[in-house]
Structure 1
Amino acid sequence: MIPPNENPTVVLPRPADEAPPRRSRLRGVDLARALAVFGMFVAHIGPNMINPHSGGAAKVLADLSEGHSSILFATLAGVSLALLTGGSRPHEGVALRRDRIRIAVRAALLFVLGMALTQLGAPIMVILSFYGVYFLLALPLLRLRPGALLATAAVWALVAPQLSFVLRQPMDADSGGGALSFSDLTSLSGAGTGLLNLLLTGTYPVLTWMPFVLTGLALGRCDLRSTAVRVRLFAGGVGLAVLGYGSSWLALNVFGGLRSLEPILNAMRPLAAQYGVAPLDLLTMHGFGTVPTSNAALLLLASAHTGTTFEIVGSTGCALAVLALCLVVGDRVRALLAPLAAVGSMALTVYVVQAVALKIIEDNARESLVQLPWLPLTGLVVGSLVLCGLWRPFLGRGPLEWLLHRTSTRTADALGSRL
């Protein structure tokens, strides 16, 4: 064989097990992830959370972020899994085995970190343990083509909410919500409840949240640098949003859904009057991952954290449209949005720091902030932009991102060639 440096025109074949060369980071994905981070800030400690009577911009921000930010996060998690495993040129052989080990290690670390934040008592519904399970369930599906992934996500979205409703009926699990903590593992009953939260009754239950991850995985298998793909992504997102939320509106207002919900709405009228809202608005204000099993018509809702087919379809559409816009903007306004992209590239670190900060605020200063409802949100946003904007160009990965990368890569290096 002629040494390659003696004949620059000779192109040596790439071994089948060797990963394709890495391409530059997609700035738009980081921008979308940063918007998800800020949306979660709003949902956790926005002005509407500190002072529920806040109106105007505070109410608009709350409506935009509630539910949508966490779903955008989950969709982007699927995109990240695809990019980690080769993007539009998926890895095979030894490279894919190493990828699976890396993902499994990351899943384990996220799972433990999520339990730690829940144990700490952070005043948020911690999603990280759920992420760990999403990642593990995605491992067997990494080799599927985009069409197969989208078909799987579609069937899952159509079937899972109804299946969840049926499974939860004998469990007295109408309240929903919750995550897993270390305390849950001290007894069999606690462990069982924690597992049930992860899979079925929690705020981000695996049964109804996997379609977001699968959709993101399918998107990451496409060429997201292509203008045509971005146009289809935006158009598809708008179409899904109209289909999901529009179908819910028709089912409730035209095809009799509200009539079926009248017993529940009538019971809520006195409390709704106290808050100055319509009974239906009160019913949909505080979802915790699932709808109650008291009335099947609740499956027609599409509001945040209801876990219905309509919410899954509509919110997925919103996530796709946001990602498409961020991909376009990320290519055109790179320097100006660099701090925002830095926040997205360090989302895990920012998320954990936010959770700890909110715990401190909750324990020491929440009541004193009623007169300054915008202060915590503004502080978190500005602080994140400044710190991440300075950290990223000089120090690279965020601390927790570095830990995940180093631990998972070293484990994959040690075990990949042996399996």
Structure 2
Amino acid sequence: MQKRIIGLDVARALAIFGMIIVNFKMVFGNHGNLLLDTFLGLLDGKAAATFVVLAGVGISLLTKRAIYQNDEEALNRNKNRLLKRALFLFLIGISYSIIWQADILHFYAIYILLAIFLIKSNPKTLVSIAIGMILLYPILMILWNYDSGWDYIKMEYTNLWTVKGFLKNLFFNGFHPVIPWSAFMIIGMWFGKMELNNTTIVIKTLWISLTVFIAVQILSYFSIIFISMGDQEIITELTPILGTNPMPPLPLYMVSGSSIAIFLISFCILISKKYENTTFIRILKNTGQLALTFYIAHVIIGIGCIEIVNPTKMGTYTINFSFLYAIFFIVTCLIFSMVNKKHAKYGPIEWIMRKLTD
């Protein structure tokens, strides 16, 4: 049996922390402190992308042995488990969407369904499909109106619960649309087919992904400056197209999100291997294994508590408050993961999922 790669759990913990920070500042507010807001803005869409890439890596590792040994029975068992988990996550995500429209779980479930069909694909095929999805998206934006259904002031999708609105949100213009976001999971599957226990390969991947990320950021910045000639109005119009923000998820964002995700995962694999027996890495590993529990808890408990205290102030808090509260919630997650590990093998939501899907 393949040894569990601790770095993947550590990366999952960091991805969840990033999502907590992003979602808290989106819901509570990001007023004041422009420097902090700009810095935290770098996490927008990147933390969630890492979360999805990690899922793709996990699927490849889960099925690698069965594919290598050409064990169709074991492969079908894995596919069946993934199918049941996709259904579980879809139902949880849809229920969750009633209070949290930015939910990623029901999108995530569709990515998994697509991944099941691609499990036996070779790395070249996976990269080709991911690139195809990324390049397809700008064509869809020409054909359809990206803004339809959105109330950007409230960051709500007005017709989410109609069949047409739901499907358009799911596949085209939601927070994490299947096209092109499933490319993140496919890229994760490609990455997971590498020898991630080979330090030389992981170091090479780390430097290549970092170089690609920096190159894309430079290309984005100077393209906007050059084309706009410094005109602020044109800069505002060009930023969604040539920037690396997640909405809309155009090619530069997708490449940026993929490369920073691969970099972060590679970094976590290397650092966790080196400091495997330290308390800090162990705590992060435990936290990453409870990612699903913390994802649901950060909205129901984290956001819910503040909304109960002062519902009228939502959206008007300072970025300092949103960030410090996120840090407080993250520390709470770390403490909970340590306590939970002493008494249980899995987190509460993970335990329910395994009971229903294994």
Q: What TM-score does the superposition give when structure 1 sets the normalisation length? A: 0.75
Q: Assess if the C-alpha contact under 8 Å between 1:129 and 1:179 holds in 2.
A: no
Moved more, 354-363 or 225-234: 354-363
User: How far has the Cα of 1:364 moved from its partner?
Assistant: 2.4
Q: 1:201 aligns with which of 161, 173, 179?
A: 173
User: How far has the Cα of 1:33 moved from its partner?
Assistant: 0.7
Relative to 1, partners in 2 of residues 1:110 and 1:403: Cα closer, same or farther, differing over 3 Å?
Answer: same
Separation in 1, partners of 2:255, 2:199: 24
Q: Assess if the C-alpha contact under 8 Å between 1:237 and 1:318 holds in 2.
A: yes
- Unaligned runs of 5+ residues in structure 2 are none
The answer to whether the aligner puts 1:162 opposite 2:138 as a matched pair is yes
Separation in 1, partners of 2:163, 2:254: 28
Q: Assess if the C-alpha contact under 8 Å between 1:168 and 1:174 holds in 2.
A: no
The answer to whether the aligner puts 1:131 opposite 2:80 as a matched pair is no
- Unaligned runs of 5+ residues in structure 1 are 1-21, 185-189, 267-278, 284-294, 410-419
Which residue does the alignment assign to 2:223?
Answer: 251
Separation in 1, partners of 2:8, 2:38: 24
Relative to 1, partners in 2 of residues 1:297 and 1:63: Cα closer, same or farther, differing over 3 Å?
Answer: closer
Moved more, 235-244 or 342-351: 235-244
Which residue does the alignment assign to 2:243?
Answer: 301
Relative contact order higher in (CA < 8 Å, ≥ 6 apart): 2
What are the within-5 Å matches in structure 2 for residues 157-236 of structure 1? 157=134, 159-169=135-145, 172=148, 184=161, 190-236=162-208
Separation in 1, partners of 2:275, 2:51: 22
Q: 2:297 aligns with which of 339, 353, 356?
A: 353
Structure 1 letter corresponding to 2:337: C
User: How far has the Cα of 1:375 moved from its partner?
Assistant: 4.4
Q: What TM-score does the superposition give when structure 2 sets the normalisation length? A: 0.87
User: How far has the Cα of 1:137 moved from its partner?
Assistant: 1.1
| Aligned residues between the structures | 348
Q: Highest CA radius of gyration, 1 or 2?
A: 1
**CA deviation map 1:291-340 (0-9, x unaligned):** xxxx7885322223330101111121111111111001111222322111
Relative to 1, partners in 2 of residues 1:38 and 1:100: Cα closer, same or farther, differing over 3 Å?
Answer: same
Secondary structure at the aligned position of 2:42 is classed as: helix
Separation in 2, partners of 1:297, 1:402: 43
The answer to whether the aligner puts 1:66 opposite 2:44 as a matched pair is yes
**CA deviation map 1:200-222 (0-9, x unaligned):** 01010011112111110111111
Q: Assess if the C-alpha contact under 8 Å between 2:149 and 2:158 holds in 1.
A: no
**CA deviation map 1:385-416 (0-9, x unaligned):** 0111221254111121122223222xxxxxxx
Separation in 1, partners of 2:122, 2:156: 34
Separation in 1, partners of 2:158, 2:86: 14
Which residue does the alignment assign to 1:340?
Answer: 284
Relative to 1, partners in 2 of residues 1:340 and 1:154: Cα closer, same or farther, differing over 3 Å?
Answer: same
Q: Percent identity among equivalent residues?
A: 22
